[in-house]
Each structure stands twice: as structure tokens, then as C-alpha cells.
Structure 1
Amino acid sequence: MRITTPQEPADYAVSSIFRERLVISSLLFARPGILMVAMPAGSGQKGATMKPSAALLVFAMILLPSGCATTPGERGPGSATLDFALIGDMPYDARQEKEFTNLMMDIDTADLAFVVHDGDFWWDGQAWTEKGGGLPPCSDEAFNDRLALAQASRHPFIYAPGDNEWADCHRAKPRTYDPFERLAKLRHMYFQGDESLGQRRMKLTRQSETSRYAAYRENARWTFGNVVFVTLHIIGSNNNLGRTAQMDAEYEERDAANIA
């Protein structure tokens, strides 16, 4: 892995197999026995900072004998190596929507097992401005656009929701939304069936297969090679706790599902 220091301190980050194209995201690549994490230094705007990842990706590495490797672009669960991409907190404004297209072009040309987006697929609705541009947060247009981006991925694309997608929609601009209605829409659109998003699908085991947690389709598990991955619906904005009694009840139920 090669890490390149950006020329603009306010434009963070890291480029590795992505041909030194600097993008606003967090990236993680893993191989059995080796873990490399590259996190953004900021949000790409002077004076702004990036909040922690909106969703949680958990993985356990078990160093067992690996199967034979597959051909590039057709990497299977028995591969001797495991390379994947973890991205998140993008695209926000109009500029990042263009950068996200460039990022996905590079990801598509890389030999990866899958891609995970760890949430905040659009800007915090309170921070959005017409000057920054981009699709209005929480809008139906944003829901449809981001789903299309995920489905266009050459690799299996696993998505975990962030607070921007639903919990913060009560304060979105230019208009507000009911967070519970947006959460229901998110689950209906992005978490159908037992496969990932993307052009090349990957089988997932969803927590919703257990009747007690039927609502939590976004919590998923999959195994690739000797690595088990789990996505859990844990978000920013205090994990939706402390705003209203109804929100607190939602948090309690979701938290119970996450730790089950």
C-alpha cells in the first residue's frame, strides 16, 4: 500500500491503489494478518472536521489455511488474499458528487472483493446550503440517486445507514422530514432480499431472518475467505438518543438488536 500526502492540507486523505486520486472518504483495506486503515484528516472544507464513522463495521480475522486464488475481477471467498474498500461520509455537496464518481471509477478498476459504505450517503441536512449544491438531503431524489450509485458498483456494495440518512432529517434544509418515515423508506429501498447491492451481488445473512429482529434488515453478516464481517446500525447524533421519548424508544430497540 502506498500513502500519498495531499498537496492541499484541507483536502485530506489518502490514495493507495486508487492511482493517487485524492478523494474525500475513509478507506480501509485488509489482508489476513495485515490491517491498514486510512482515515480522513478533515471534511475537505477549511475549519471543518469530520465526525466519526456513522455506522460500524466489525470484522474478525481468523488465520486459517486459505484456498486457491481466483482470477482478477472474480475473487471468491477462497482467495488467498482479501482486499476490500471501506468508504463513507460522501458524497455531500455538488463537488463531492463529482469526486464520488471518480472514486467509484477507480474502485471498479481495482481487484476487490467488495465495497462497504459506512453511512452518511449525503450531507447533514442542517449543514446543507444551496451554494454548496448537490441533492437536498433526505429528499426522494437523494434516496434514488444514491441507490443508483450503489447499484452501479462493479463489486458487491454493502451499505450501512448513517444519521444523515434518517435521524437528522427532522432538521434538514430546504425542508424537514419525519425521521421514522425516512428510516422505513431506507430499509425498504436499500435492504431488500438476501444479497448486497452492486452489479456483482454477494450473499448476506440479515438479522431480520430472526423473527424477534425482523425490522433490522440493515444489520448483516457475511464471510469472505477466513474473515467474518458484520454491519451494525450504530449512528452519529448520539445514536438517536435524547431528543424525544419516541426516539429514545427507537434507540433502545435498535441497541438491543445490535448487541443481540
Structure 2
Amino acid sequence: MKSRILAGASVLAIAAAAASSAAPATAVQPEKDAFTFGVIGDVPYGAAQVAQFPEMVTELNQQDDLEFIAHVGDIKAGSAQCTDAYFAGIKAQFDRFEIPLVYTPGDNEWVDCHRANNGSYNPLERLDALRALFFAIPGKTLGTTMPVKSQAGLGLPENVTFAQNRIAFTAVNVQGSNNSLAPWTGNSGPTVEQREEVTARTAADIAQLRQTFEDAERTNARAVVVLTQADMFDPWQLASGVERNPAQVSGFAPIVEALADGAASFDGPVYLFNGDSHAFNEDSPLAAGSPWLEIYGVDARENLQRVTVEGAATSNEWLRVTVSPNNTRTDDVLSWERVAYEGAE
């Protein structure tokens, strides 16, 4: 099934494949070394999109070129109830995927569940419920089984790594609401248990990021791809004055530092895919001159590119990401295009 490419979508060009100067023309690797995967996030939002979600899953299943799908979190709207029944309904749809599904949770399904309109839950109890339901079999993806390495031994089965055709992938649980440091209802600041969870999860995230970059160097990977929910470089944050109050993003600082360190040590492009802020965006947040360098106190890293996927109730699109063949000599190892669902109005 062919999906409609969104008009005006910004796509990084893939350079033409070139054989090594030391190898004869007959040694060029076949095009099958290239592959594609999909990225979705902040979906489904609201009753209309929840009703449409089965059709979205069906359409993604009909894309015969996708190796896997990554869902970067937020499986419900921020004002929706965090009920077991709702989670079970989404899990049933995830189980329908006929390709592997890599899912990293979003803040809407646990961090923000303390809100009255979410059901006044303890967010840590909801996180436990998510892990028990969606990550009951650590080391395997949802949908069609694909083996992955997980941090289940540290209590974070959602944190996974895997590799394909010399691309290193890592999914880490980094959350909106300042990485879950925003106060819960009725509190003026984070609770003790809240801080303990953030500290432990952040340490695990950093350990996985460091290991991913070390493994990428050791295996001569062509690129590193990081998948996470939080938009740690939300343009709205700059508009709201975060550059004058870095405390608003203090929960992200250790993660950004780990990303910057990894990008500095890795001789290749690093791609960050996130959701959270809903509007499609692509940029280089740690490039020279970026205000984020001062906010996070890191040096410029020109090899980090970031993409925020379109999401929320009014979105009817997904992102197709193409990985260039192994023999391509280019910094643009990945390219992407926004694709409208055929059923979208």
C-alpha cells in the first residue's frame, strides 16, 4: 500500500552510493543493505484518534518496506484517564503490529497521572503498571518479536538497544515535565520517592547511552540513533524564557551532557528522535551558536541532528526513515519524510 507523502516535507538528501576506491565495481554492496523504519509518537490522542488508531496500525502493517516501528511515547492525551482498561486497549492494538514495535513510554501515561482529570493516580504505580503490561517479556519487542538488549536487570525493561546494518539504536526513558521533576498535585516540589525514581532512571539512561556509544565505536557503526519521548530542546521553552531560568529543564541536563559526550566521542552522525512537543521539527540543537549550549553548559556538537515527530489529536501522519546502503560515503546516513495516512482527511 502506498501512503501519501506530505507536501513540503523536509527531507535530507541521501548521497549517491559510491564504491570504495580500492574495490572493483563488481564489489559494490547491493541496495538491500539499505532499510527503512517508521517513527510515531503522541498518538492516539482523544476519542476520535483512539477510534482511528486501529486503521493507523493496519496501514502501517501494509507498508512492506518497514523493518520496525518506533513509538516515542504518549499513548493518550494529557487530560485522559490513566486507567488499566485504556492501557489494555492500546496494548491490544500494539499486539496487532506485524512488524517489531519499539515503544518507550511518555509522560502522559504515567508522569502526569497525578492530575485529577487523569484519575489522581500515583505516577510510580502507573509506571509499574505500564512495565508489567507492555514489557512483560524483557528483551523482546512488541508486535513481531525482534530481540533487543534491555535494562530489565536494573528495573527498566523499556530501555533497549539493538543494531541493524551498522546502525546503533538506543531507546531511553526520558520524560516530559522536566524528566518527571515537576511537582505532583498538592506538592510544592518533588516528593522523596519522585526524586529517587528520577535519580535511578537517569543514572540507568546515562549508563545505556554511554554503552551505546562505546559499542558503536567498537563495532565501527555508521550512525547512532537515540529514541526518547521528552523534547529536551523544545522551541517553546526558549520562547517562555528558559534561557533565563535553566531550572525549568534541569531534569534533562545530565541526559543532554551524556548525549553531547557521546556525540563528541563518536566519529559519525547522531540522530535523536523525540515526541512530546507535538509539532514536527528538525534541527541541530547543539550546533555552534545554539542557545541550548549555554543553558545546558555543553560544548558545540555539530554531528547531532534532532527530529520531533508530529503528534497529538490533529495529527494524521507518521515518519518514514530511510537508512542509506552500507557502501554510501556520506554524513547523511539517515533521511526522513512525513507521510500522511491514506485515511486522513
TM-score bucket of the superposed structures, by smaller chain:
0.5 to 0.7
What is the deviation of 1:96?
0.8
Q: Is the 8 A contact 1:196 1:202 kept in 2?
A: yes
What is the deviation of 1:165?
0.8
Deviations 1:39-97, CA, capped at 9 Å, x for gaps: xxxxxxxxxxxxxxxxxxxxxxxxxx99767xxxxxxxxx4111000001010111111
1:184-203 equivalences in 2 (<5 Å): 184-193=128-137, 194-198=139-143, 200-203=144-147
Counterparts of 1:258 and 1:19 in 2: how far apart (Å)? Answer: 35
Q: 1:220 aligns to what SS in structure 2?
A: strand
Counterparts of 2:13 and 2:150 in 1: how far apart (Å)? Answer: 24
Structure 2 segments unaligned to the other structure (5+ residues): 17-26, 184-189, 208-345
What is the deviation of 1:31?
10
What is the deviation of 1:32?
8.1
Counterparts of 2:155 and 2:162 in 1: how far apart (Å)? Answer: 19
Q: 1:167 aligns to what SS in structure 2?
A: coil
What is the deviation of 1:20?
2.2
Counterparts of 1:66 and 1:170 in 2: how far apart (Å)? Answer: 56
Aligned residues: 186
Q: Is the 8 A contact 1:242 1:248 kept in 2?
A: no
Aligned to 2:75: 121
Q: Is the 8 A contact 1:121 1:164 kept in 2?
A: yes
Structure 1 segments unaligned to the other structure (5+ residues): 1-16, 35-64, 70-78, 129-136
Rg larger in structure: 2
Q: Is the 8 A contact 2:104 2:171 kept in 1?
A: yes
% same residue:
32
Counterparts of 2:54 and 2:90 in 1: how far apart (Å)? Answer: 11
TM-score (normalised: structure 1)? 0.64
Match of 1:251 among 176, 195, 198: 198
Counterparts of 2:10 and 2:88 in 1: how far apart (Å)? Answer: 26
User: 2:44 matched to 1:104?
Assistant: no
Counterparts of 1:221 and 1:28 in 2: how far apart (Å)? Answer: 28
Counterparts of 2:115 and 2:171 in 1: how far apart (Å)? Answer: 26
Stretches (4+) displaced over 6 A: 27-34
1:1-260 equivalences in 2 (<5 Å): 19-20=3-4, 79-110=32-63, 111-124=65-78, 127-128=79-80, 137-173=81-117, 175-193=119-137, 194-198=139-143, 200-209=144-153, 214-243=154-183, 244-245=190-191, 246-260=193-207
Counterparts of 1:114 and 1:254 in 2: how far apart (Å)? Answer: 26
Superposed CA RMSD: 2.9
Counterparts of 1:220 and 1:29 in 2: how far apart (Å)? Answer: 27
Do the aligned partners of residues 103 and 33 (structure 1) sit closer, same or farther apart at CA in structure 2, a change above 3 Å counting? farther
Deviations 1:86-115, CA, capped at 9 Å, x for gaps: 001010111111332232222111121000
Counterparts of 1:107 and 1:87 in 2: how far apart (Å)? Answer: 10
Q: 2:169 aligns to what SS in structure 1?
A: strand
TM-score (normalised: structure 2)? 0.49
Q: Comparing both chains, which one has the higher relative contact order based on Cα–Cα distances under 8 Å and sequence gaps of 6 or more?
A: 2
Q: Which amino acid aligns with 1:119?
A: G
